[in-house]
Amino acid sequence: MLAIFLLISFLASIVGSICGIGGGIFIKPIFEAFNLMGIVEINFLSGSMVLAMSAVNSFRSLKTANELELKLTVPLALGAVVGGITGKAIFSQAALLFSSSVILSLIQSTLVLLMAIFSLAYTFNKDKIETRRIEKTGFCLFIGLFLGFLSAFLGIGGGPINLVALSYFFSMDDKKAASNSLLIILLSQAASLSQIMISGSIPPVSMAQLWIMVIGGILGGQAGFQIKKRMDGQAVRKGFTGVMIFLILMSLYGIGAGLYALLGA
């Protein structure tokens, strides 16, 4: 089982690193589809893997000229920290509110589906849309707050909507948006996981599972960064489109499985 966890986290981190979407976007639907563990445990392991992968990429990107637009991304990331804490807190409350984790999973899957459809529609029409170049710090903080909230609440890294926001509001190309998205994801996930540890609400996962996911995130992040260096923006966009199609299909499956479980109960 641990070998499967390592393989999934490694492959998810490679794709997530290339497209700037965290990688958790694969972990959640795959783990849910095969009923490997509960939604709270999945979110924690996914967030840990995403943190490791995004840390590797952000560190490497800082050493690459013109890869990160820190003037924009730093306030975005600071907003994402607050959003990440808020999103994780609301998710924790929602987990207590609903007696069945199936209901919470259904809510997440539905939101992920809508986000993926919107992101895919934007990508297909991107060349026809006039983008903006907003540099006001207050606006960056607000957008970061929203992105960080989605990242933490959905437990998938939040990347798809990050890329849309960075493209539309800040006129970043696909490759640069992917790198800056990962920095936002890094800080929002760090904030949400820190909150879990401080509050002592770490889910019952084994240390072996946690370390395997983190190792997969580090190795996948390294490999993905090297692959992305050899790709142009168009290739990154094609990869992102493929990921969105996969995510839509997996979300539909998750919604169907959840409804079946509820009706069957």
* Predicted pLDDT at 149: 84
Describe the chain by its helix, strand, coil percentages, rounded to 5. 80, 0, 20
- Residues whose CB falls within 8 Å of the CB of residue 50, separated by 6 or more in sequence, listed in order: 16, 22, 23, 24, 157, 185, 189, 217
Each residue's pLDDT tens digit, 187-215: 877 877 887 888 887 888 889 999 999 99
Residue 68 reports pLDDT greater than 70: yes
pTM exceeds 0.75:
yes
What whole-number distance in Å separates Cα of residue 145 and Cα of residue 150? 9
Are the CB atoms for 225 and 217 separated by under 8 Å? Answer: no
In single-letter form, the type of residue at position 47 comes to G
Q: Is a pLDDT exceeding 70 seen at residue 156?
A: no
pLDDT band for position 216 (cuts 50, 70, 90): very high
Torsional sign, CA 26, 162, 55, 138 = negative
Mean pLDDT of the chain: 83
Query: pLDDT confidence of 10, banded at 50, 70, 90?
Result: very high
Please, are residues 59 and 122 in contact by the beta-carbon 8 Å criterion?
no
Task: With CA atoms as reference, report the closest residue to 58 among 234, 235, 243, 222.
Answer: 222
pLDDT classification of 99: cutoffs 50, 70, 90: low
